[in-house]
A and B are shown apart, each in its own frame.
Chain A
């Protein structure tokens, strides 16, 4: 059973555009929602994370929007750049638990 559902599977955005990736979860015990960025040949790297006490978190061009009632969260990349081309994974976890449940990933391509 997929604990975290992620869409779209792939995304192509023009340089300067907004990239939006969506995730949904079922387990209401989750209280930690990170996004990871992975470049080819590299391990995933933590990009930004949010906890359910806030509805939005922004770090530079990256913003997480969180909707607790809908059990959904999304990553917005503003002013997308070719260097943002990578695979993005959302995840969900619970404080005190070791396991993070990952989405299936979104391959983002930003074309110049």
Chain B
């Protein structure tokens, strides 16, 4: 299965600022996925990032708040913009493997103060 490197692993940010999270995969993949894992809640899909096209956002998530880049088949970034304490979560990058199985990065633990 693919190996995913995600950074930063954690950060503490001031409200109103933005943080860009990077995701690097060791193999070329068509789609990359960004999830949010809020404390005590489910993992929720934010968006699907295809190389060469605009990301597809799930209901409740908008591009202005979570802009995504996908410059090539092994790399993607997610930016959390104009952060508020409600954005404090773990953000996870993921790729799809064989069948429907997903491989996840180690996540970025974001705390907004």
Contact = CB atoms under 8 A, between A and B. Distances in A.
Q: Do A and B come from one complex?
A: yes
Interface of A: 2, 4, 32, 34, 36, 41-46, 49, 89, 91, 93, 95, 98-105
B37 to A, nearest CB: 8
A34 B102 CA distance: 9
A47 to B, nearest CB: 10
Determine the main DSSP class of A at the interface with B. Answer: strand
Size bin of chain B's contact surface: 20 to 34
Given A43-B92, A44-B104, A103-B42, A32 B99 contact: yes
Contacts of A45: 104
Interface in B31-80: 31, 33, 40-45, 48, 58
B105 A43 contact: yes
